[in-house]
Structure 1
Amino acid sequence: MKTYSKRIIGFFCCVTLIVMMAGGCKSSGKLAYKNIAAIYNPELVLEDLNYDLFNLNDSITNLYVRFPYNKLQYSEINGRKEARYKLTWQLFQDFENSKLIDSAAYRGMDSLHTVGYKFDSIAIAVKNGSDYVIFLSFFDLNAGKQYDQWLNLYKKGPVNPTDYILTDEKGFPLMRNYVYNKEHFRIRTALNEESVMLGFNPQSMPPAPPPYALPKNVVFPYADSITAWRVSNHYSEIIQLSDEGRYNVVENGKRAFTIFRFYDGFPNIGQLTQLRQTARYIATDAEYRDLMESDSRAAIDDFWIRLTGHSERALSQ
């Protein structure tokens, strides 16, 4: 696969210096009280920077990291142009307890202007029996930019969402929980099982509501039908999902992991219907009614121009 070869090039051809610093400390208060609004600022998002977690066993979880070299800033240092970056992670019990359990920092550089992606995996020593949260910070040191992200690490139950991960046909992590039309992939599982039960729930996927807009008691059905896929050495056979909907790995009668298979281009929004639906949470009832009754893209543009007061500013929304 083309993207796979680029990642391999990025992995083997870079000149990388890695320094690891691990430690822990105690602090007080709740993580929920910290201001994390900055992570929703588009300017603080590095395009194609991806993370994923997979419970390798009861005591080790792999943190997978992937980022594109061409998004980093190359500067002249000691007579040659190079990119410098740093990744830090901090492991906490939960948002209600800011006690730091473990942390580490990794530094790297590239002087070859490597084409493609840097991909790496980091082993985190963390035992089963509890769920955790991980705070990640990626630094483009030459540009002076920092990109933050929170991840949930599930290890409390006998079966957890991070006991599963999507991979390509060769077992390389996809770094996402959705698949495309006609895409071939595998499911990697941490469990010793002979098959993965995949429940299918056909439904469309409207644009997501704002955070905390859904009631706490919302329930998504996990299966209209269930298909068994063979597993060998913790990898499923090659899977292709043709129908749109939610696909849930079902273990012991419960939903353990969800795979999304929706419209082409998901999760990006580009179709007229999707563009109109995204305005629901910031439009008045009258404005939204006018948008839904119009089949014109111009109606969407007019809405954003009125909202922002300027056509160029509207294009950035």
Structure 2
Amino acid sequence: MESFRVHILGCGSALPTLKHNPSSQVIEIRGKYFMVDCGEGTQTQLRRSKIKFTRINAVFISHAHGDHCFGLIGMISTFGMLGRTAPLHVYAPSAFRKIMEMQMDFFCNGFEYDVVFHDIDTTVQKIIYEDRSLTIETVPLSHRVPCCGFIFREKPTLPHILRDMADFYKVPVSQFNNIKNGTDWIDEEGNVVPYTRLTRPSGPVRSYAYCSDTRYIPSLYESLKDISVLYHESTYLSEDETMAQMYCHSTAAQAARVAADAGVGTLVLGHYSARYDDEKKLLAEAKNVFSNSILSYEGLIIDV
């Protein structure tokens, strides 16, 4: 099965701590590498993860708060100093473009690669990237500034040939692709062999959703139905729900409620408030609602 992994580079919230870095992740899917958010320290975390800088194809910024984007200009500069030539695509809310262009004009002159900005409308769920093997779509969230999440979804693959059955019916290799695409085989005696007898279904389609800073949205689950792995911010405990409402964040229990309603496979908690020394309390709260919950931490690699 092709690789589909999530590398956690940072899972803290706005206030820096010695324990957690600000938000950043790398999604590795079928040999492509996409970064989601780029807080301070992301370059160092990339080094620690042993992900080559040259592997990053695009960066997706959920919203223009510093703990999600202050590391981007430094990383762009480093890419230039390392001699990058391939374009870097940056997907971000439209207001972010002007900020970045001003910084690049000041700090990033003379580089040999282009930074291509793509404006995101955070108010709609929409596919913003697509290639032969995957799609990436936005998910509207509710925060103090325009904000969205992202769903990474691989496309279905063709069925697999059952080689022993193909040999039994003397199917030439040249016909394998046709059979994978649903064409029945007619043997030497004119008998029709259904393609379903010659193939087995491919594995289930995998998906990963990243829900950045957001207040609890009761209807959010409708956009996340049957996601394989969901990362949902869980900044606060329920005892601090008033603060969560004030700053447009979620509690661990609320994140778990979204996961349970959506029927996801696994919930990953993150974006922890610096007020908590022990995130296990957040995990316990989430598990009371959705048992298949885990904590994110720097260096964690999640196989989707």
With the shorter chain as reference, the TM-score category is under 0.3
**With CA pairs under 8 Å and 6+ residues apart, which has the higher RCO, 1 or 2?**
2
In the superposition, the TM-score normalised over structure 2's length comes to 0.26
| Bigger proportion of residues as helix | 2
